Amino acid sequence: MIKNQTLLKNKIADSRGRLYRVALAWCGDKMLADDLVQEAIATSIDKSEQLRNEDQLFGWLYSILNNKWYRYLRRNEFHENIDEQMPCEDSGPSVVCQELQLVNQVRYAITKLPVVERQVLV
């Protein structure tokens, strides 16, 4: 059992940013991610005495967040059939990487121009 519950509760609260990034990646909705994290933090603070090893804090928090996410999906009857999904129109990681490489190449080429031409172009 962890002796200093106040310190543990502060660490839980400080983990909000990490949990939010995970929740946002899972659901893709900023408001929903914020709600999921709020619920996960509230639950973990209420049940902080259940954590036996502080070294496992983040795994424990992610587990609680994961449970909140699945509970949300079940509550909203969010069932996806992969055969019925439409292809995503958003750029995938490879397209984003290619775009970033192109941006970097253009920036590098601009730095090689004479100052006057660089000013006009930029």
- Looking at residue 36, its pLDDT comes to 94
Residue 120, domain extent: 89-122
Report the range of poorest mean pLDDT among 1-15, 20-34, 46-60: 1-15
Q: The tokens 């192109």 sit on which residue?
A: 102
70 and 97 housed in the same domain: no
pTM exceeds 0.85 for this model: no
21 and 59 housed in the same domain: yes
Instruction: Kindly state whether residue 84 falls inside one of the protein's structural domains.
Output: no
Q: If pLDDT is split at 50, 70 and 90, which confidence band does 109 have? A: confident
Average pLDDT (59-84) is 80
Instruction: Kindly state whether residue 103 falls inside one of the protein's structural domains.
Output: yes
Quote the CA–CA distance of 122 and 107 in Å, as a whole number. Answer: 10
Tens of pLDDT along 28-38?
889 999 999 99
94 and 72 housed in the same domain: no
CB 48 within 8 Å of CB 11: no
